[in-house]
């Protein structure tokens, strides 16, 4: 971008100075060593063969898995050997997400909340990666990562309060539903602009170097096309940031299939081009996701370098409540992936080991439904924050011009209060 | 100060270079005469510094006193293309003063992340003209972080420094004044110094202010602005305008380099028309000092706002509209703008483009005869 003539000129001047001051060293410079070129821009060899380098020159990156489609561990040495309690915890949280999603999706359809986005089909990417980290590790997300929060202890009440924007919402009702955040859980508040969090995650990781904490940053296959993704990968590599870039490649960005999103070997293949180690995993296999994230974290901390994980999965639900995905993809495709869902895979694994059965499943579903509905009705009944909170938090303090605008609004409200939905809001 | 010796040696080397460098502006005929700041903000020892040295000094103090602080951007490691970061990498290490890849959106996003974690991030955009790739990160992210998270997260420890404004021959992409783009963004602070003394104190305030700040440095002043700058650590208030000369007939408001144009215009107006001008340096674009401006407007009853940026939707428009709303019964003439034209910033036509002293003087004549 800013390749100005000026910048080049300046370089020349400084070059001149450098040469003047170290003139005797100058002749030591060479442009070739042992028959290889010494261009500053790359370490490589000469060739006299004129040939393109392209996808044909190498194999696509394989997908790492631990379980097969029936939930059987293929190689015992790759079983993370988590305790039964932890695995059951993982399964119950995944189930929890799906129940919650159903209820909140329906409530939007009924007009009770303005917007919602489900997580169907991607529960294992969220839970598997969250389980491999500590709460002290910082999370930057996109919007389809509620499982990470739930794993960390974010309650259904937190979620319902945020979707309703009531006075208990940690975000004070300022953002759309699904834009969660929790300082306590080190989950940076979600924002709508795609991929903006990726370079931020690199910066956060740089700041946290040496504190034994890593940063994980989630984004979708579509967001990876943004310039911010490119900037972030490059910054993280050149500045040695202990950050895990976790791509949820679910096949679609709203209606856009991946073959209209990129022509390379997905997102993982970009890693080596930036000098970043990459992993590609089965995003529907909670153990594979867990192992990959665990290994990435260890590497980040020992090497102070970034990792890219690409979790291959499928977006079972619509993009959001504003989208009907049957308009752009065959129902058969959705059906096929439904029978290969991460929840079913882990369920089979648990059933084979007698840790789960249909009775438990029904009980859990029923209990969860009740819990979600209870929180949901409670959130619905709560008042919204004071309207004056609209002016809060723009700056650390309220500047004079904002105070004035608030006072003007207050005077107006006195006069026209019957035209505002004041009964739903805490009294200002 | 050994550092300054190095800087001076490097500068003298640069100015000997046959290549016309942008930062070698002191030698050119410029459209203004620099008026040094006469008032010292604090007592004590001073040293003669130009603006880039004063900025360097502020960064030095920050890195010394705030262990979390880091300075980064394109080419800052070797001292920066305008020498603002000279010597800092050697003194504080490459972990804290470092080059980034050439990506403004990356610099801004990275800086926000650093600030999210509570560390002090001082990011440089090489030219304000190149801040636009970072517009999304600054406007949608930095400015809104505290608000949207209900105060849970913020990036208040972020400061973005960037050389701005005309330089004599910068043409379209080394001359822009983009302050009004950012003035339209709640959550940001935008500050522009007119002198070396102001640059040091305001930059330290921006760095320590708990909100994301954008600090535009008038690049033509890097070398031209020379004065006795206090050696000690000091801060100057944000959101506060300076009344530089008292007057009774007309208020002239500007910022950055334009303040020096207006100071000269005030002298000319006195000599030629016996008009007494009150010159105000707005200093802070967002939030701006309404009180000082209205007080002056009510007193002189005539206001001229002048900035290098194009007229339509320039920050002058905000001042005009607010003054009209708040001082209507006091005004004797329409609030007038003398600004750059609604064209891109041209190369060879710069002398005709700038709102120079003659155009400002012309405006004074008109407003007095209204």
| Among B113, B147, B152, beta carbon nearest to A199 | B113
Task: For chain A, give the mean pLDDT.
Answer: 93
Closest partner CB to A235 (pick from B101, B146, B210):
B101
Identify which of A32-41, B10-19, B243-252 has the greatest average pLDDT.
Answer: B243-252
Which of A4, A174, A400 has the CB atom closest to B148's CB atom?
Answer: A174
Q: A21 at the B interface (CB within 8 A)?
A: no
pLDDT reported for residue A3: 47
Instruction: Tell me how crowded residue A132 is: count the other CB atoms within 10 A of its CB.
Output: 21
Q: Cβ–Cβ of A2/B104 closer than 8 Å? A: yes
Interface contact B100-A7, CB threshold 8 A = no
Chain A residue whose CA is closest to B17: A13
pLDDT tens digits along A80-118: 999 999 999 999 999 999 999 999 999 999 999 999 999
Q: Which of B31, B174, B260, B307 is catalytic?
A: B174
Per-residue pLDDT at A12:
39
Contact A9/B at CB under 8 A: yes
| C-alpha pair distances (Å), A61 with each of A64, A122, A245, A250, B250 | 9, 21, 17, 17, 72
| Contact between B287 and A1 using a beta-carbon 8 Å cutoff | no
Instruction: Check CB contact under 8 Å for A13 and B14.
Output: yes
Q: Identify all chain B residues contacting A6, using CB atoms and an 8 Å cutoff.
A: 21-22, 81, 174
Lowest mean pLDDT among A3-7, A299-303, A360-364: A3-7
**For the residues A258-266, what does the mean pLDDT come to?**
97
Give the one of A181, A193, A207 whose C-beta lies nearest to B114's C-beta.
A207
Report yes or no: A188 and B166 within 8 Å, Cβ to Cβ.
no
Q: Percent of chain B scored above 70 by pLDDT?
A: 92
* A6–B156 CB contact, under 8 Å: no
Residue A181, chain B, CB below 8 Å: the answer is yes
CB contact under 8 A, A228 and B145: no
pLDDT at B9 exceeding the cut of 70: no
Give the gap in angstroms from C-alpha A216 to the nearest C-alpha of chain B: 12
**pLDDT tens digit sequence for B202-221:** 999 999 999 999 999 999 99
By the 10 Å C-beta count (0-12 exposed, 13-18 middle, 19+ buried), A304 is classed as middle
Peptide bond connecting B287 to the previous residue in cis, omega within 30 degrees of 0: yes
Q: Name the residue of chain A whose CA is nearest to B105's CA.
A: A228
Give A22 or A285, the one with higher predicted confidence: A285
Q: Which of residues 269-328 of A touch B (CB under 8 A)?
A: none
Distance from C-alpha of A196 to C-alpha of A218, rounded to nearest angstrom: 11
Distance CA B103, CA B130 (A): 9
Provide the Cα torsion A381, A382, A385, A387; round to 10°: 30
Q: Give how far B135 is from chain A: nearest CA, Å.
A: 11
Q: What is the 3-class SS of chain B, one letter each residue? A: CHHHHHHHHHHHHHHHCCCCCCCCHHHCCCCCCCCCCCCCCCCCCEEEEEHHHHHHHHHHHHHHHCCCCEEEECCCCCCCCCCCCCCHHHHHCCCCEEECCCCHHHHHHHHHHHHHCCCCEEEECCCHHHCHHHHHHHHHHHHHHHHHCCCCCCCCCEEEEEEECCCCCCHHHCCCCCHHHHHCCCCCEEECCCCHHHHHHHHHHHHHCCCCEEEEEECCHHHHCEEEEECCCCCCCCCCCEEEECCCCEEEEECCCHHHHHHHHHHHHHHHHCCCEEEEECCEEECCCHHHHHHHHHHHCCEEEEEEEECCCCHHHHHHHHHHHHHHHHCCCCCEEEEECCCCCCCCCHHHHCCCHHHHHHHHHHHHCC
B81-102: pLDDT as tens digits: 999 999 999 999 999 999 999 9
Write the CB contacts of A282 (distance below 8 Å, at least 6 apart in sequence).
Answer: A63, A64, A65, A66, A67, A288, A289, A311, A312
Alpha-carbon gap, residue B363 to B358, rounded angstroms = 9
Nearest-neighbour CA in chain B from A234: distance (Å) = 7
Instruction: Check whether B1 has a pLDDT greater than 60.
Output: no
Q: Which of B21, B109, B160 is best to mutate for the A interface (most A CBs within 10 A)? A: B109
Q: What is the pLDDT of residue A15?
A: 40
Q: What is the average per-residue pLDDT within A184-192?
A: 98
Chain A with chain B: Cβ pairs closer than 8 A: 194
Indicate the residue of A2, A196, A231 with minimum beta-carbon distance to B74: A2
- List pLDDT tens digits, range B322-362: 999 999 999 999 999 999 999 999 999 999 999 999 999 99
Task: Examine the pLDDT at B307 and tell me if it is beyond 60.
Answer: yes
Q: How many CA atoms within 13 Å lie on the side-chain side of A215?
A: 33
Q: For residue A28, what pLDDT is reported?
A: 75
Chain B residues within an 8 Å CB radius of A234: 101, 103, 106
Q: Would you call A207 and B136 a contact, using CB atoms and an 8 Å cutoff?
A: no
Q: Is the pLDDT of residue A4 over 60?
A: no
- pLDDT(B56) > 90: yes
Q: What pLDDT was estimated at residue A336?
A: 93
User: Could you give the angle at which helices A342-352 and A123-131 cross, rounded to 10 degrees?
Assistant: 60
Whether residues B210 and A231 touch (CB distance < 8 A) is answered with no
Query: What Rg, from alpha-carbon coordinates, does chain A have?
Result: 26
Q: Which residues contact A339 (CB under 8 A, 6 or more apart)?
A: none
- In this predicted structure, the answer to whether residue B21 has a pLDDT above a threshold of 90 is no
pLDDT at B15: 40
Question: In the annotation, is B95 catalytic?
Answer: no
Select from A10, A16, A232 the Cβ nearest to the Cβ of B81.
A10
Q: Do B103 and A1 touch (CB under 8 A)?
A: yes
Q: With 0-12 CB in 10 A as exposed, 13-18 as middle and 19+ as buried, what is A397? A: exposed
Q: What percent of chain A has pLDDT over 90?
A: 90
pLDDT in tens, A238-252: 999 999 999 999 999
- Which residue among A169, A181, A199 places its CB closest to the CB of B109? A199
Give the closest residue to B47 by CA, choosing from B77, B76, B79, B7: B7
What is the rounded distance in angstroms from the CA atom of residue B346 to the CA atom of residue B343?
8
Q: Is there a contact between B101 and A400 if contact means CB atoms under 8 Å apart?
A: no
Contact A396 B156 (CB under 8 A): yes
Q: Does A174 touch chain B (CB under 8 A)?
A: yes
The pLDDT assigned to B24 comes to 47
- Name the strands in the sheet holding A138-140, side by side, starting at the edge strand that comes first in the sequence: A187-188, A138-140, A215-220, A243-249, A307-312, A277-282
C-alpha A123/C-alpha A33 separation (Å) is 53
Mention every residue, 6+ apart, whose C-beta is less than 8 A from residue A195: A219, A223, A224, A226, A227, A228, A229, A232
Contact: B17, A206; criterion CB under 8 Å: no
| Count of other CB atoms within 10 angstroms of residue A2 | 19
CA distance A304 to chain B (A): 13
CB-CB contact of A256 with A222 (8 Å): yes
In this predicted structure, the answer to whether residue B172 has a pLDDT above a threshold of 50 is yes
**pLDDT bracket for residue A428 (50, 70, 90):** confident
Phi first, then psi: what are they for A243, rounded to 5°? -125, 140
CA distance B82 to B128: 13
Chain B residues near residue A3 by CB distance under 8 angstroms: 102
A210 near B CB under 8 A = no
Q: In which band, very low, low, confident or very high, does the pLDDT at B26 lie, cut at 50, 70 and 90? A: very low
Inform me whether the C-beta atom of residue A393 falls under 8 Å from chain B C-beta atoms: yes
Q: Give the pLDDT score at A8.
A: 45
Catalytic (active-site) positions of A: 106, 192, 319-320
Cβ–Cβ below 8 Å for B287 and A7: no
Mean pLDDT of all residues in A333-359? 95
Q: How far is B366 from chain A (nearest CA, A)?
A: 32
**C-alpha span between A421 and B54 (Å, rounded):** 54
């Amino acid at each position: 971008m800013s390749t100005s003539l000026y910048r080049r000129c300046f370089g020349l001047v400084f070059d001149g100075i450098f040469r003047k001051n170290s003139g005797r060293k100058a002749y030591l410079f060479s442009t070739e060593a042992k028959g290889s070129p010494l261009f500053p821009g790359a370490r490589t060899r000469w060739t006299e063969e004129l040939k393109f380098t392209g996808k044909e020159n190498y194999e696509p990156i394989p997908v790492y898995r631990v379980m097969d489609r029936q939930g059987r561990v293929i190689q015992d040495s790759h079983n993370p050997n988590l305790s039964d309690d932890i695995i059951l915890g993982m399964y119950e949280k995944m189930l929890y997400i799906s129940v919650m999603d159903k209820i909140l999706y329906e409530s939007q359809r009924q007009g009770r909340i303005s917007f919602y986005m489900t997580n169907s089909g991607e529960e294992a990417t969220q839970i598997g990666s969250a389980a491999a980290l500590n709460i002290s590790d910082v999370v930057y997300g996109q919007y389809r990562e509620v499982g990470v929060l739930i794993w960390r202890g974010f309650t259904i009440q937190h979620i319902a309060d945020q979707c309703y924007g009531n006075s208990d919402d940690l975000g004070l009702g300022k953002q759309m539903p699904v834009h969660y955040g929790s300082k306590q859980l080190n989950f940076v508040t979600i924002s709508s602009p795609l991929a903006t969090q990726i370079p931020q995650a690199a910066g956060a990781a740089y700041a946290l170097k040496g504190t034994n904490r890593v940063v994980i940053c989630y984004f979708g296959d579509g967001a990876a096309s943004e310039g911010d993704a490119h900037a972030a990968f490059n910054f993280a590599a050149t500045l040695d940031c202990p950050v895990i870039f976790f791509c949820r490649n679910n096949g679609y960005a709203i209606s856009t299939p991946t073959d209209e999103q990129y022509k390379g070997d997905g997102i993982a293949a970009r890693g080596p081009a930036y000098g970043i180690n990459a992993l590609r995993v089965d995003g529907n296999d909670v153990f594979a996701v867990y192992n990959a994230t665990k290994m990435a974290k260890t590497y980040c901390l020992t090497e102070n370098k970034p990792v890219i994980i690409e979790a291959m999965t499928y977006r079972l639900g619509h993009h959001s409540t504003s989208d009907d995905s049957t308009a752009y993809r065959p129902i058969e495709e959705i059906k096929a992936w439904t029978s290969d869902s991460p929840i079913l895979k882990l369920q089979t694994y648990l059933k084979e080991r007698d840790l789960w059965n249909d009775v438990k499943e029904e009980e859990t579903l029923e209990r969860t439904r009740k819990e979600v509905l209870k929180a949901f009705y409670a959130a619905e009944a709560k008042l919204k924050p004071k309207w004056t909170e609209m002016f809060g938090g723009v700056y650390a303090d309220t500047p004079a011009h904002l105070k004035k605008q608030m006072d003007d609004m207050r005077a107006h409200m006195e006069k026209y209060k019957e035209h505002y939905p004041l009964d739903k809001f805490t009294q200002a | 100060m050994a550092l300054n010796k190095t800087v001076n040696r490097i500068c003298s080397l640069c100015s000997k270079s046959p290549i016309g460098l942008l930062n070698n502006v002191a030698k050119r005929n410029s459209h203004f005469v620099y008026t040094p700041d006469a008032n010292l903000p604090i007592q004590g020892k001073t040293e003669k510094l130009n603006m880039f040295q004063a900025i360097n000094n502020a960064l030095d103090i920050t890195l010394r006193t705030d262990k979390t602080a880091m300075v980064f951007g394109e080419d800052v490691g070797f001292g920066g293309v305008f020498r603002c970061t000279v010597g800092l990498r050697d003194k504080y290490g490459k972990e804290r003063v470092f080059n980034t890849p050439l990506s403004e959106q990356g610099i801004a996003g990275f800086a926000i992340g650093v600030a999210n974690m509570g560390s002090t991030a001082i990011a440089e955009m090489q030219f304000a003209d190149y801040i636009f790739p970072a517009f999304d990160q600054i406007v949608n992210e930095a400015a809104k972080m505290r608000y949207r998270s209900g105060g849970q997260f913020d990036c208040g420890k972020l400061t973005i420094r960037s050389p701005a404004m005309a330089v004599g021959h910068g043409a379209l992409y080394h001359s822009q004044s983009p302050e009004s783009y950012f003035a339209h963004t709640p959550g940001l602070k935008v500050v522009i110094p007119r002198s070396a003394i102001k640059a040091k104190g305001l930059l330290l305030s921006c760095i320590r202010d708990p909100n994301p700040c954008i600090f535009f440095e008038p690049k033509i002043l890097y070398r031209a602005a020379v004065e006795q700058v206090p050696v000690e650590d000091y801060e100057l208030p944000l959101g506060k305008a300076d009344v530089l000369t008292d007057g009774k007939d007309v208020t002239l408001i500007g910022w950055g380099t334009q303040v020096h144009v207006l100071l000269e215009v005030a002298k000319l107006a006195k000599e030629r028309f016996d008009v007494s001008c009150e010159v105000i340096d707005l200093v802070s674009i967002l939030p701006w000092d309404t009180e000082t401006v209205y007080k002056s407007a009510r007193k002189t009853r005539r206001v001229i706002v002048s900035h290098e940026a194009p007229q339509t939707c320039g920050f002058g428009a905000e001042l005009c509209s607010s003054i009209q709303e708040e001082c209507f019964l006091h005004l004797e003439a329409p609030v007038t703008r003398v600004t750059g034209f609604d064209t891109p910033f041209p190369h060879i036509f710069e002398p005709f483009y700038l709102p120079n002293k003659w155009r400002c003087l012309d405006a004074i004549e008109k407003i007095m005869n209204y």
